[in-house]
Structure formats: C-alpha cells, structure tokens
Amino acid sequence: MANTRNARLAPKPCKFCAIAAGTEKAFIVFCDGHFVAFLDYRPLALGHLLLVPVVHYADLSDVPNCVMAELGVRVKVLSAAVMQAMTAEGSFVALNNRISQSVPHIHFHIVPRRKGDGLFSQGLIWKRVPYRDDAQRAAIAAKIRAAIPPSW
C-alpha cells in the first residue's frame, strides 16, 4: 500500500526538462547550455516560442535573480528574432506564475504580434493556431534560428 501511495505523490516528469535534455521532441530555435527556446506545441500565433532555463524552477519565487537577468537578455534577443523571422510588427512576452502554468517549469512565451490580430480581443479567449505539420514547424524554427544574431 505504501508504494502505491508514494507513486501517486511522485511528481510528474517535467516535459520542459525532457526537452532541455533532448529526450522529448521539440523544434528548438536556441540552446546555449543554460537556456532553451523552442516552438510552442499549441501556439497563439505561428512562431510562438517558449524560453526555459535548463535547470528546473517550478515557479517564479524559485528562480535566482541572476537567472532572471539572463532570461531577460535572451527574451530581448529572441523577441527581435521572432519579429524579424515572422515579419511581425511586435511581440507579446508573458510569464505565468502558478495559475495558467500548464507545465510547472518557469517559461517565457514570446509571441509574434500584428495590428488587428485579435490576440487581446473583447471577451478574451486564447485561440490556438495549429501548424500544418512538422515540416512547417521545422521551416519556421529554421527561419527564427537564422534571425538570431551570430554572436548568440
């Protein structure tokens, strides 16, 4: 009985940790050994990225200040790359903390934006935009990767 109880209490494996480790499929656009950015599986717009630290931090209070600073620099670079690659007029950058955090691993959303895209329309309901297939995902990931400055 004790083994069953412990199994129920054991945390679920973290999907983002698996992506960072290379054991879970993802369309990665940036990886520097400390942080990984990849296409969101259920994007709000094509080119929607998630940026995560390789080290697992469940929520914002767990993240050391130095890691937050490094995340911020990468958000800035990746936002510019997403806008360029997706010919977007701007970007939406967000971080959910506990509520609406579908994977309990701190992550920033970087979403390309265009005027009139309806992302923040009245009666806000996030509309997901599916990719046609993995070939489209791979092409968009490559486009964003190519827009990242070589010094990164």
* pLDDT tens-place string over residues 75-100: 999 999 999 999 999 999 999 988 88
Residue 67 belongs to a domain: yes
The whole-chain average pLDDT of the chain stands at: 90
6 is a domain residue: no
In a domain, 8, yes or no: no
- Residue 126 maps to a domain: yes
Q: Is residue 4 part of a domain?
A: no
Residue range 25-45: mean pLDDT, rounded: 96
Q: pTM value? A: 0.88
CATH number at 25 reads: 3.30.428.10
Asked whether residue 5 carries a pLDDT value surpassing 80, the answer given is no
Q: Count how many domains the chain has.
A: 1
Structural domain of 85: 14-147
Helices and strands counted in the chain (H then E): 4, 5
152 assigned to some structural domain: no
The answer to whether residue 122 is domain-embedded is yes
Cα-based distances in Å from 79 to 23, 70, 72, 93, 98: 26, 14, 10, 8, 23
Q: Is residue 80 part of a domain?
A: yes
What is the rounded CA–CA span in Å between residue 111 and residue 91? 5
